[in-house]
Amino acid sequence: MVKVISLLGCNSVRIRVRMLFNVYLLVSFIRFRVTLVLNLVILLNLAQLRDQRELHLVKLMKSFVCGNCHPAMKLLVQQQPHGALSVGEVKFC
């Protein structure tokens, strides 16, 4: 016990203890932020919004391929013989 007290009196040990405490506080804060963000994702249904964006993108691609879109959009996407889509070079004048 005497050794511990004498070590705590040393400046380098005090600095290390402060640094470890600061790291502990930082890790605690990060854990709190992650928990808060995860709760917000669940609360705001952000995962559902991502799914809706993906479905919208699929709908847009289908309309480009079928030709149910603006004539300029028909030139953006081309369907390959094996079914894949390719995006052509877009030139803006």
pLDDT per residue as tens digits for the range 2-33: 444 444 555 676 777 777 888 888 888 888 88
Closest among 90, 31, 42, 88 to 65, alpha carbons compared:
88
**What is the predicted pLDDT for the residue at 1?**
43
pLDDT tens, 52-83? 888 898 888 888 778 788 877 777 777 788 87
**What is the predicted pLDDT for the residue at 50?**
79
Handedness of CA 41, 45, 49, 52 (dihedral sign): positive
Q: Please give the model's pTM, rounded to 2 decimal places.
A: 0.42
Domain ranges of the chain: 1-44, 50-93
Q: Report which of residues 32 and 89 the model is more confident about.
A: 32
Structure tokens at 26: 């930082």
Rounded to whole angstroms, how far apart are CA atoms 40 and 21?
A: 29
Structure tokens at 84: 């894949």
Using only C-alpha atoms, the chain has a radius of gyration, in whole angstroms, of: 29
DSSP 10: S
Find the Cα–Cα–Cα–Cα dihedral 59, 64, 65, 70, rounded to 10°.
140
